[in-house]
Amino acid sequence: MMRAQLEAVIDELKTLRAEGVSSVYLEEQTIADLKAKAGTVEAVAPSTAPAPVAKVSTLPSPPENQPNLLASWKSESDVPEKPKAATKPAVKKDANIPDWIKPIPAPTAFDIPEGDKQTQWNWLRDKIFNDPICREHVRLEKGKKVVFGVGNLDADVFFCGEAPGADEEIQGEPFVGKAGQLLDKIIAATGLKRDLVMIGNIMNWRPEHDKPYGNRPPTETEIAYCLPHLEAQVEIVKPKVIVALGATAAHGLLGYDPERTVGRTRGKWMEFKGIPLILTYHPSYLLRNNTNRSKRMVWEDMLLVMDKIGLEISEKQRGYFAEK
Ligand code: URA
């Protein structure tokens, strides 16, 4: 079991290295855990234990220079994909949160005031932008921003991601980096546009870490603090469908469940507060797994979404990424 997990991690590192990634974000605790586990495997099977394949470096990786942003969402060539395991747990226990991060309290309940959608939205946006905890965890002095949902208040579809990344905390808008550009292409392939849907995140700030690169997945406490903000956004917009992008978004919305991997759960309707919810792969996953198979799975989920909200689906759209 342990061995299988280690091999899955090694496979993922090999893939990342083949894609030109020279450094990956790993917390000290994760490195210590891996070392401890590697020691256990070696003790059991010294001659066959897997050798390390990728350097865990503290040098900044240059995500900006990675050329794997899908130039065209619909026309990449097929590459057979090996099943892979995630290299990071989707939701981390708070024991793993770095000590220097200011503690995060339990969230406080609030009511949205009466009014039309725009009035309610403006009230909520101001509340979140002025929230002392959100502000405390954003490097405001460096021009970084708290991030709130963006899009159409009458949207049928609410896309929910994990947390702002480097580009998002600079621009103060969700999904504006490479993953966001790909999300825009996915949305466009359905015939919708970014400004016709709503786009938000489980988190309102970029989880802090002490590495000069990469993103740390949010912890349970961080997610719990921001969740009422997301619930309120959903309550105001009242979308017909929520698309959870990646397992962390689903864990945040539906509660943590280690069995709920994207591979096992995608393509099936679930519910968030009575609203149909579907889980699909995060655009960042597609950037790392640029294969027809991955894109087809996401596209199949999008077809379900289109069907659910009553969007007409052309034969051409049905055929995108069809198995040859
Ligand atoms: N990834 C996310 O989950 N959200 C963003 O806003 C950007 C990248």
Whole-number Å distance between alpha carbons of 156 and 19: 36
Kindly give the distance from the C-alpha atom of residue 20 to the centroid of ligand 1, in angstroms, as a whole number.
Answer: 22
Supply the pLDDT for residue 59: 27
- Give the pLDDT band (50/70/90) at residue 48: very low
Residue 212 has which token pair? 């000069």
Mean pLDDT rounded to a whole number for the chain: 82
Whole-number Å distance between alpha carbons of 296 and 276: 21
Cβ pair 38, 49 in contact under 8 A: yes
161 Cβ below 6 A of ligand 1 = yes
Kindly give the distance from the C-alpha atom of residue 161 to the centroid of ligand 1, in angstroms, as a whole number.
Answer: 5
Looking at the predicted structure, is the pLDDT value of residue 53 above 90? no
Q: Which CATH superfamily is domain 91-318 in?
A: Uracil-DNA glycosylase-like domain (3.40.470.10)
pLDDT in tens, 248-271: 999 999 999 989 999 999 999 999
Whole-number Å distance between alpha carbons of 200 and 70: 22
Taken in order 181, 169, 223, 287, is the CA torsion positive or negative?
positive
Runs of H (alpha helix) within 146-219: 166-171, 178-189
Could you identify the atom of ligand 1 that is nearest to the CA of residue 161? 3
Supply the pLDDT for residue 16: 47
Supply the pLDDT for residue 21: 47
Cβ pair 263, 246 in contact under 8 A: no
Beta partners for 148?
none
Looking at the predicted structure, is the pLDDT value of residue 310 above 60? yes
Tokens 């090999």, residue located: 14
pLDDT in tens, 214-246: 898 999 999 999 999 999 999 999 999 999 999
Supply the pLDDT for residue 82: 45
Greatest C-alpha distance within the chain: 69
283 Cβ below 6 A of ligand 1 = no
Supply the pLDDT for residue 96: 64
Strand arrangement of the beta sheet that strand 269-272 belongs to: 150-151, 198-201, 157-161, 241-245, 275-280, 269-272
- Give the residue with greater pLDDT, 77 vs 180: 180
- Please give the share of the chain, as a percent, with pLDDT higher than 70: 71
**For the chain, where are the E strands, in sequence order?**
150-151, 157-161, 198-201, 241-245, 269-272, 275-280
Cβ pair 279, 265 in contact under 8 A: yes
Supply the pLDDT for residue 60: 30
Cβ pair 287, 182 in contact under 8 A: yes
Question: Which of 169, 175, 178 is the pocket-test mutation for ligand 1 (most atoms within 8 Å of CB)?
Answer: 175
Supply the pLDDT for residue 99: 80
Lowest mean pLDDT among 165-179, 183-197, 208-222: 208-222
What is the DSSP pairing of strand 150-151 with strand 275-280?
unpaired
Kindly give the distance from the C-alpha atom of residue 38 to the centroid of ligand 1, in angstroms, as a whole number.
Answer: 32
Cβ pair 284, 247 in contact under 8 A: no
Residue 94, CA distances (Å) to 65, 98, 222 in order: 32, 9, 9
Kindly give the distance from the C-alpha atom of residue 40 to the centroid of ligand 1, in angstroms, as a whole number.
Answer: 36
Looking at the predicted structure, is the pLDDT value of residue 44 above 50? no
- Give the residue with greater pLDDT, 25 vs 261: 261
Residue 317 has which token pair? 């759209």
Summarize the confidence of residues 18-29 as an average pLDDT.
53
Supply the pLDDT for residue 210: 85
Kindly give the distance from the C-alpha atom of residue 249 to the centroid of ligand 1, in angstroms, as a whole number.
Answer: 10
Q: Where in the chain is the domain with CATH 3.40.470.10?
A: 91-318
- Give the pLDDT band (50/70/90) at residue 185: very high
Element (H, E) at 272: strand 269-272
pLDDT in tens, 118-176: 999 999 999 999 999 999 999 999 999 999 999 999 999 999 999 999 999 999 999 99
